[in-house]
Amino acid sequence: MTRGIRNRCLLLGSLLMVLLAAAVPRPTYAESGFKPIPTQFIAALAAPTATSGTGAEAWGLWTLDPGPRGVQLRNYEALVAAGGTAPANWSFDAGDWWLEEHGLIMEAPTLGLPPGRYLVTGNRAAQAVLTVAPKDASGAQAWSLSGGATVYDVTHLRCRSARYRPNAAGKACIPAAVPAELFPVAPGDAMPPVVNCSKVDFAVLFIIGIEG
């Protein structure tokens, strides 16, 4: 390779890196007054097109990534044999359990978000400020996204989560009934139904900063 060609390659490579860097959304902590935090995860229950609403008291929050702490479906019997205590030391509730897109049984998130303002993203193209109000007299929590962003805009499509509960008394709603061949779930698709279970699909948002 001649020096001229090599220099042009280096220049093109540098230009490509600049363009790629510009294309990646970056947190705007300085402008917004937010400080970065280790990523936390919201399980949001809202229409993809919604920009605001109520019901954040039913949303979930994982302060730690639940994926690495999950239990493979094939290890469900071992989980039961351990009294429902997962290797990561969380407790499985047979009457109310969560599953993620790779077929991992997850620890349940903490339901209800602390009031405040969060910098959220779907790690795709958009960031927005999620404002969560204190609970009102009825216990409901209002929420809103800044800049006209929708829930879909800040949803991480590759992450899926669903909550499963028995849909009839005396009927077993258990992870062992989930067909393993249905995983992984394609980005944006619904989580699979499970016999004798009601299912609620949640969007997953990343919290990357908090106000303060």
Asked if residues 128 and 153 have their Cβ atoms less than 8 Å apart, the reply is yes
pLDDT of the residue at 4: 38
Question: Does pTM surpass 0.85?
Answer: no
CA distance 148 to 129: 10
Q: What dihedral angle (degrees, nearest 10) is formed by the CA atoms of 104, 109, 113, 119?
A: -30
Question: Could you write out the DSSP letters of every residue in 57-103?
Answer: GG-EEESS-SSTT-EEGGGHHHHHHTTTB-TTS-B--TTSEEEETTS
pLDDT in tens, 53-80: 999 999 999 999 999 999 999 999 999 9
pLDDT of the residue at 72: 93
Determine how many CB atoms are found less than 10 A away from the CB of residue 115. Answer: 14
pLDDT band at 33 (very low <50, low <70, confident <90, very high): confident
Domain regions of the chain by residue span = 27-211
Which 3 state secondary structure label does DSSP give 44?
A: strand
CA distance 112 to 58: 6
- Kindly state the average pLDDT of the residues 155-181: 87
Q: Given a cut of 60, is residue 34 above it in pLDDT?
A: yes
pLDDT band at 177 (very low <50, low <70, confident <90, very high): confident
pLDDT in tens, 11-22: 333 333 333 333
The amino acid occupying position 175 is P
Q: Given a cut of 60, is residue 198 above it in pLDDT?
A: yes
The b/e string for 36-46 (b: 16+ C-beta within 10 A; e otherwise) is eeeebbbbbbb
Asked if residues 45 and 58 have their Cβ atoms less than 8 Å apart, the reply is yes
Q: Which residue from 61, 170, 39 is spatially nearest to 106, judged by alpha carbons?
A: 61
CA distance 126 to 118: 14
Instruction: Identify the bridge partners of residue 205 per DSSP, sorted by sequence position.
Output: 42
